[in-house]
Amino acid sequence: AQKVTQAQTEISVVEKEDVTLDCVYETRDTTYYLFWYKQPPSGELVFLIRRNSFDEQNEISGRYSWNFQKSTSSFNFTITASQVVDSAVYFCALTPPGGGADGLTFGKGTHLIIQP
């Protein structure tokens, strides 16, 4: 069965520190996509990144970077020089299984608190 595990329930760091959010997934599919979403206090889920299972290159977007390692089934997210505005719940998600329902499989989320 598909599963996404975000073992860190809550992380609290001081502003300007680097922080890494972990994501481990399970799937039987050979082709799949992984996602990260940000949920600020307002509640709306904001799309951050989509990564194809065949593309293991790390990606960097400003202060955000993602490390995809297929060998360990992990797709970790690092925020460099964190800011208070980064405070949110972050979700990792996986595409639907082949032939299965269309919904994404979400982890339970990591609540990130950036203290000033």
Partner 1 sequence: SQTIHQWPATLVQPVGSPLSLECTVEGTSNPNLYWYRQAAGRGLQLLFYSVGIGQISSEVPQNLSASRPQDRQFILSSKKLLLSDSGFYLCAWSVRRAETQYFGPGTRLLVL
The type of residue at 83 is Q
* Cβ-based nearer residue to partner 1, 12 or 14: 12
Q: For 60-103, give the DSSP string.
A: EETTEEEEEEGGGTEEEEEESS--GGG-EEEEEEEPPPTTS-SS
CB count in 10 Å sphere of residue 61: 9
* Cβ-based nearer residue to partner 1, 73 or 96: 96
Beta strands 10-14; 110-115: pairing state? parallel
When asked if residue 45 is in the footprint of partner 1 (CB under 8 A), the reply is yes
The stretch near partner 1 (CB under 8 A) out of 19-27, 31-39, 68-76, 80-88 is: 31-39
When asked if residue 91 is in the footprint of partner 1 (CB under 8 A), the reply is yes
Element (H, E) at 109: none
Instruction: Single out the residue of 37, 68, 75, 90 in contact with partner 1 (rule: CB under 8 A).
Output: 37
Helix (H, G, I), strand (E, B) or coil at 32: coil
* Cβ-based nearer residue to partner 1, 86 or 109: 109
Provide the minimum distance between the beta carbon of 24 and partner 1 in the complex, in angstroms, as a whole number: 16
Of 115, 108, 59, nearest to 85 (Cα)?
115
Provide the minimum distance between the beta carbon of 68 and partner 1 in the complex, in angstroms, as a whole number: 16
User: What is the binding site for partner 1 (CB under 8 A)?
Assistant: 32-33, 35, 37, 42-47, 50, 89, 91, 95-96, 101-104, 106, 108-109
